[in-house]
């Protein structure tokens, strides 16, 4: 207090990070122009990449920053898709339905949060998976879904394919940018700091005044909306909804792979993990079962040689984590 | 034996019981903590001292009994609410947020416990870091700290929440004599600023330099309470401390 004259401050963003943000901004602008230039196949693939990035960022928010290890995010991928099917069936135009369905799924996540967030660690993980399976079973009973046969969002066929593809691409791009930026803003704020404290020690977090349940709930609902949005975008681009696919455990496995391989609990890691996963899918995706074995092999190699993920390439060499969430105190000299 | 009560207590506990199954850890504990006082708690291991802190700080629900703080009934309130009301605690075994830096540990405590905005919380955290001798470690990961610095961090993080009452749980253990003196100075200066202190400590000479009143606990009960010297001279206290041979 004797040094009140010197205002203590948090260090500003490092120059390198500013460059990364600038480059990312320019890249986004470029990506905005891509569907006007690139062939349809590329545009479709890019939609998938954006969806993967949303998944990775959301699972990292949940598990990496809040310690909520869920293997049941497919519940929200499927519910988002199902809500969209229902809404479009009720007459809502498909493009707004992409977003409305994601928000409605968030309301359901609120209800689920009251139960699952009372559980800890392993129990929580199993509960999320069980819930996803139960919801899948319930949704399969809806006549509209036609059991495992599934259904299609036929209303999307009313649009010319080119126009449809371009719209979905731009919506996916905006959603991805929104998810990344929103996560950034959240983590930089109080909720982000509180989530990390809860991840590290929930009881100690409560002892410093953190409303642990409320913070976890906020993160859980946001991650659910994010996964639902990725799910509705995916449905919009693939048109067919099948409970087995929509609620499939593979979504959680993809999320886990991207986040762990990229670097859990780092901001940039999961995005890099999504890029790597996307590349692996492109290169080896046609090899069927071998592709899955390959993914497993990559995961094992990372666990053995680069346990901190791609971001470990920087960290292991003593460099600071790019786009780190760390708040560093600027200490007065002398 | 009870000290003359001159003001309304800031913290009042009446008939507090805590059981884990058949094991009764606290038996009808009554405590009054007066505003601005420094109350010491001693007692052999397993006396229920840390459990008492947990009960006061809301770390778990008590089996029965009533606790109020500044006249507010705390029954049913969570640890986070109690911290925001002004009760901070340290943990006997330090529990830092290991994935965060020292500064971030304090920052989040100031933001959540004291509801400060980022700028004010930064100032608070930096002030507390200087007072507790952690300023040089500000940007180090908490996981890189040794035990002594982790103990410092416990105290610093509790202070960052802006408490009116702080519950200190064996923060002196393992400190060198000069570190103990610095700790005593810190606690005395906090007290002179009006902070109410309850301190569980085994290192009696440090404790006796700070506290104005002493409670001795044994087997979940309050054995003696009053002037520190009188309490330590009490025959029952001596027996509990030195261990009586079974008769």
Q: CA–CA separation, A182 vs B129, rounded Å?
A: 31
Task: Clarify whether residues B170 and B64 are in a common domain.
Answer: yes
Is residue B185 assigned to a domain? no
Last residue of a domain, one of B111, B138, B162: B162
Mean pLDDT for chain A?
93
Q: Is B59 on the interface with A (CB under 8 A)?
A: yes
Q: How confident is the model at residue A65 (pLDDT cuts 50, 70, 90)?
A: very high
* Mean pLDDT confidence for A249-278: 96
Q: B156: exposed, middle or buried (C-beta count within 10 Å: 0-12, 13-18, 19+)?
A: buried
Helix (H) or strand (E) holding B168: strand B165-169
Q: CA–CA separation, B78 vs B59, rounded Å?
A: 7
- Measure CA A116 to chain center: 19
Residue of A nearest to B85 (CA): A209
Strand, coil or helix: B191: helix
CB A135 within 8 A of CB A141: no
Is residue A298 assigned to a domain? no
- Model confidence at A195: pLDDT above 90: yes
Q: CA–CA separation, B30 vs B12, rounded Å?
A: 8
Task: Clarify whether residues B77 and B199 are in a common domain.
Answer: yes
Asked if B99's CB is within 8 angstroms of A200's CB, the reply is: yes
Q: What is the ipTM of this complex?
A: 0.92
Task: Clarify whether residues B14 and B77 are in a common domain.
Answer: yes
pLDDT value at position B25? 95
Residue of A nearest to B161 (CA): A208
Is residue B18 assigned to a domain? yes
Per residue in B152-210, pLDDT (tens digit) is 999 999 999 999 999 999 999 888 899 899 999 999 999 999 999 999 999 999 999 99
Q: Containing domain of residue B108, as a range?
A: 95-162
Percent of all residues in chain B with a pLDDT value above 90, rounded to a whole number: 83
- Model confidence at B2: pLDDT above 80: no
Q: Is A203 on the interface with B (CB under 8 A)?
A: yes
Asked if B98's CB is within 8 angstroms of A200's CB, the reply is: yes
Largest Cα span, chain A: 73
Which of A41-45, A156-160, B3-7 shows the highest mean pLDDT?
Answer: A41-45
- Measure CA A291 to chain center: 23
Q: Which of B116, B109, B112, B98 is nearest to B132 (CA)?
A: B109
Per residue in B201-236, pLDDT (tens digit) is 999 999 999 999 999 999 999 999 999 999 988 888
pLDDT value at position A318? 85
Q: Is B137 on the interface with A (CB under 8 A)?
A: no
> CA-CA-CA-CA torsion for B89, A68, A106, A269, nearest 10 degrees?
110
Q: Is B18 on the interface with A (CB under 8 A)?
A: no
CB A244 within 8 A of CB A81: no
Q: Is B86 on the interface with A (CB under 8 A)?
A: no
Q: Which of A8, A57, A330, A320 is nearest to A187 (CA)?
A: A57
Q: How confident is the model at residue A154 (pLDDT cuts 50, 70, 90)?
A: confident
Q: How confident is the model at residue B244 (pLDDT cuts 50, 70, 90)?
A: low
Residue B233 sits in a domain whose CATH number is 3.40.50.300
Interface probe, candidates B50, B92, B109, B145, chain A, greatest A C-beta count within 10 A? B109
Is residue B39 assigned to a domain? yes
Residue of B nearest to A10 (CA): B122
Is residue A268 assigned to a domain? no
Task: Clarify whether residues B14 and B69 are in a common domain.
Answer: yes
What is the secondary structure of B20-88 as a DSSP string?
ETTEEEEEEEEEEE-TT-EEEEE--TTSSHHHHHHHHHTSS--SEEEEEETTEE-TT--HHHHHHHTEE
- Model confidence at B3: pLDDT above 70: no
Packed helices A161-188 and A212-238: angle between N→C axes, nearest 10 degrees: 170
Asked if A3's CB is within 8 angstroms of B135's CB, the reply is: no
Q: Is B138 on the interface with A (CB under 8 A)?
A: yes
Is residue B6 assigned to a domain? yes
Distances (CA, A) of A179 to A176, A260, A323: 5, 19, 16
Q: How confident is the model at residue A333 (pLDDT cuts 50, 70, 90)?
A: low
Q: How confident is the model at residue A334 (pLDDT cuts 50, 70, 90)?
A: very low
Which of A42-46, A327-331, B42-46 shows the highest mean pLDDT?
Answer: A42-46
Is residue A44 assigned to a domain? yes
Is residue B182 assigned to a domain? no
Task: Clarify whether residues B137 and B201 are in a common domain.
Answer: no
Per residue in B132-143, pLDDT (tens digit) is 999 999 999 999
- Model confidence at A284: pLDDT above 70: yes
- Residue B189: CB partners within 8 Å, gap ≥ 6? B131
Q: Which residues of A touch B95 (CB under 8 A)?
A: 201, 203-204
Per residue in A287-304, pLDDT (tens digit) is 888 888 888 899 999 999
- Model confidence at A252: pLDDT above 50: yes
Is residue A107 assigned to a domain? yes
Task: Clarify whether residues B73 and B116 are in a common domain.
Answer: no
- Quote the number of domains for chain A: 1
Is residue A271 assigned to a domain? no
Task: Clarify whether residues B147 and B234 are in a common domain.
Answer: no
Write a three-state SS string for chain A: CCCCCCCCEECCCCHHHHHHHHHHHHHHHHHHHHHHCCCHHHHHHHHHHHHHHHHHHHHHHHHHHCCCCCCCCHHHHHHHHHHHHHHHHCCCCHHHHHHHHHHHHHHHHHHHHHHHCCCCHHHHHHHHHHHHHHHHHHHHHCHHHCHHHCEECHHHHHCCHHHHHHHHHHHHHHHHHHHHHHHHHHHHCHHHHHHHHHHHCHHHHHHCCCCHHHHHHHHHHHHHHHHHHHHHHHHHHHCEECHHHHCCCHHHHHHHHHHHHHCCCCCCHHHHHHHHHHHHHHHHHHHCHHHHHHHHHHHHHHHHHCCCCCCHHHHCCCCCCCCCCCCCEECCCC
Helix (H) or strand (E) holding B200: strand B196-200
Of A194, A205, A329, the CB nearest to B103: A329
- Enumerate residues 238 to 297 of chain A having a beta carbon within 8 A of any beta carbon in chain B: 265
Q: Is B92 on the interface with A (CB under 8 A)?
A: no
Asked if A208's CB is within 8 angstroms of B123's CB, the reply is: no
Helix (H) or strand (E) holding B223: strand B221-226
Q: How confident is the model at residue A1 (pLDDT cuts 50, 70, 90)?
A: very low
pLDDT value at position A184? 96
Asked if A207's CB is within 8 angstroms of B100's CB, the reply is: no
- Model confidence at A267: pLDDT above 50: yes
CB B158 within 8 A of CB B196: no
Is residue A265 assigned to a domain? no
Q: How confident is the model at residue A5 (pLDDT cuts 50, 70, 90)?
A: very low
pLDDT value at position A146? 86
Asked if A204's CB is within 8 angstroms of B83's CB, the reply is: no
Q: Is B104 on the interface with A (CB under 8 A)?
A: yes
Percent of all residues in chain A with a pLDDT value above 90, rounded to a whole number: 80
Task: Clarify whether residues B26 and B124 are in a common domain.
Answer: no
Shortest distance, CA B74 to any CA of chain A (angstroms): 15
- Residue A147: CB partners within 8 Å, gap ≥ 6? A140, A243
- Quote the number of domains for chain B: 2
Task: Clarify whether residues B11 and B29 are in a common domain.
Answer: yes
Is residue B65 assigned to a domain? yes
Task: Clarify whether residues B1 and B82 are in a common domain.
Answer: yes
Per residue in B11-31, pLDDT (tens digit) is 999 999 999 999 999 999 999
Is residue B145 assigned to a domain? yes
Shortest distance, CA A320 to any CA of chain B (angstroms): 13
Percent of all residues in chain A with a pLDDT value above 70, rounded to a whole number: 97
Q: Is A15 on the interface with B (CB under 8 A)?
A: no
Q: Which residues of A touch B77 (CB under 8 A)?
A: none
Per residue in B27-71, pLDDT (tens digit) is 999 999 999 999 999 999 889 999 999 999 999 999 999 999 999
CB A238 within 8 A of CB A77: no
Q: Is B189 on the interface with A (CB under 8 A)?
A: no
- Rama region for A140: left / alpha / beta (φ>0; ψ in -120 to 50; rest): alpha
Per residue in A271-280, pLDDT (tens digit) is 999 999 999 9
Q: How many CB pairs under 8 A join A and B?
A: 118
Task: Clarify whether residues B60 and B168 are in a common domain.
Answer: yes
Asked if B59's CB is within 8 angstroms of A211's CB, the reply is: no
Q: Containing domain of residue A201, as a range?
A: 37-248
pLDDT value at position B243? 64
Of B112, B127, B139, the CB nearest to A210: B112
Q: Is A328 on the interface with B (CB under 8 A)?
A: yes
Task: Clarify whether residues B45 and B142 are in a common domain.
Answer: no
Per residue in B95-116, pLDDT (tens digit) is 999 999 999 999 999 999 999 9
Q: Is A331 on the interface with B (CB under 8 A)?
A: yes
pLDDT value at position B193? 94
Interface probe, candidates A66, A67, A209, A329, chain B, greatest B C-beta count within 10 A? A209
């Amino acid at each position: 207090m004797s040094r009140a004259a010197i205002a203590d401050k948090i260090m500003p963003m490092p120059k390198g990070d500013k460059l990364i943000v600038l480059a990312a901004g320019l890249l986004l602008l470029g990506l905005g122009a891509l569907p006007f230039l690139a062939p349809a196949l590329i545009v479709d693939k890019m939609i998938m990449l954006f969806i993967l990035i949303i998944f990775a960022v959301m699972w990292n928010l949940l598990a990496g920053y809040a310690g909520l290890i869920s293997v049941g995010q497919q519940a929200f991928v499927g519910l988002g898709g199902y809500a969209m099917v229902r809404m479009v069936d009720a007459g809502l135009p498909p493009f707004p339905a992409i977003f409305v369905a994601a928000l409605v799924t968030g309301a359901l996540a609120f209800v689920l949060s009251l139960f699952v967030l009372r559980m800890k660690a392993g129990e929580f993980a199993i509960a999320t998976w069980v819930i996803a399976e139960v919801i899948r079973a319930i949704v399969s009973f809806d006549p509209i879904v036609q059991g495992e046969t599934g259904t299609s969002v036929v209303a999307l066929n009313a649009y010319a394919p080119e126009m449809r593809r371009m719209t979905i691409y731009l919506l996916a791009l905006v959603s991805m940018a929104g998810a990344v930026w929103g996560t950034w803003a959240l983590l930089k704020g109080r909720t982000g700091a509180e989530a990390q404290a809860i991840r590290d020690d929930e009881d100690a977090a409560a002892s410093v005044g953190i409303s642990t349940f409320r913070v976890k709930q906020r993160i859980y609902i946001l991650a659910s909306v994010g996964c639902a949005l990725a799910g509705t975008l995916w449905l919009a681009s693939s048109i067919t909804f099948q409970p087995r696919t929509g609620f499939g455990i593979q979504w959680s496995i993809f999320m886990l792979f991207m986040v762990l391989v990229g670097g859990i609990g780092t901001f940039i890691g999961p995005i890099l993990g999504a890029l790597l996963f996307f590349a692996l899918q492109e290169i080896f995706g046609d090899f069927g079962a071998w592709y899955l074995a390959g993914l497993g092999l990559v995961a094992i190699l990372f666990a053995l040689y680069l346990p901190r993920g791609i971001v470990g390439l920087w960290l292991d060499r003593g460099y600071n984590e790019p786009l780190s969430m760390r708040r560093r105190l600027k200490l007065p000299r002398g | 034996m009870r000290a003359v009560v001159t003001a309304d207590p800031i913290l009042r506990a009446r008939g507090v019981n805590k059981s884990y199954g058949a094991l009764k850890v606290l038996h009808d504990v009554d405590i009054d903590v007066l505003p601005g006082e420094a109350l010491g708690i001693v007692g052999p291991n397993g006396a229920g001292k840390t459990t008492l802190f947990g009960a006061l700080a809301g770390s778990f629900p008590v089996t029965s009994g009533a606790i109020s703080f500044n006249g507010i009934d705390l029954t049913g309130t969570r640890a986070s609410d109690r911290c925001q009301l002004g009760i901070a605690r340290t943990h006997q075994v330090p529990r830092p947020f290991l994935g965060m830096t020292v500064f971030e540990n304090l920052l989040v405590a100031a933001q959540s416990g004291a509801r400060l905005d980022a700028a004010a919380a930064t100032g608070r955290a930096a002030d507390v870091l200087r007072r507790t001798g952690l300023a040089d470690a500000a940007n180090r990961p908490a996981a890189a700290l040794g035990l002594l610095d982790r103990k410092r961090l416990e105290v610093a993080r509790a202070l960052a929440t802006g408490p009116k009452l702080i519950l200190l749980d064996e923060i002196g253990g393992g400190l060198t004599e000069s570190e103990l003196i610095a700790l005593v100075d810190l606690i005395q200066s906090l007290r002179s600023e009006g902070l109410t202190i309850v301190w569980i400590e085994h290192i009696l000479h440090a404790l006796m330099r700070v506290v104005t009143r002493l409670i001795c606990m044994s087997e979940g009960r309050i054995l003696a309470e009053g002037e520190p010297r009188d309490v330590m001279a009490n025959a029952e206290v001596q027996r509990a401390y030195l261990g009586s041979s079974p008769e």
